[in-house]
Amino acid sequence: DTGVSQNPRHKITKRGQNVTFRCDPISEHNRLYWYRQTLGQGPEFLTYFQNEAQLEKSRLLSDRFSAERPKGSFSTLEIQRTEQGDSAMYLCASSLGGAVPGAFFGQGTRLTVV
């Protein structure tokens, strides 16, 4: 499978716990994006990487959120001290620089904080 892969697909956690999600982009894509999507809404940009460098972070990304892409390949998104308001679908997307407009999305990780 050469698409964008996200794990886990679903995560249920208790409020206050830390969670980590993983995204494996399409192998030759150097740009990787994280978005958050709440029910009935469009995805909202969180952050993006070009290779291993995190070049932009949204104001939505509070200090409880951290993302890494250590070797310019897969990426992780960690949420510390989860809150109920963090419940959402977290989508990862990748693209090949600016050469081909439009990104390819993974199936997402649905987080439920109870």
- Chain residues 2-21 in contact with other proteins, contact rule CB under 8 A: none
Q: How many CB atoms lie within 10 A of CB 15?
A: 13
Residue 33 near other proteins by CB under 8 A: yes
Beta carbons of 100 and 32 less than 8 angstroms apart? no
User: Which CB atom, from 33 or from 65, has the smaller least distance to other proteins?
Assistant: 33
User: Which CB atom, from 41 or from 112, has the smaller least distance to other proteins?
Assistant: 41
The dihedral sign for the CA sequence 11, 16, 17, 23: positive
For other proteins (CB under 8 A), the number of binding residues is 27
Name the 3-class secondary structure at 84.
Answer: helix
Residue 44 near other proteins by CB under 8 A: yes
Residue 79 near other proteins by CB under 8 A: no
Structure tokens at 113: 């904080």
User: Which CB atom, from 35 or from 65, has the smaller least distance to other proteins?
Assistant: 35
Q: How far apart are CA 33 and CA 23, in angstroms?
A: 10
Binding site for other proteins (CB under 8 A): 31, 33, 35, 40-45, 48, 50, 55-56, 89, 91, 93, 95, 98, 101-108, 110
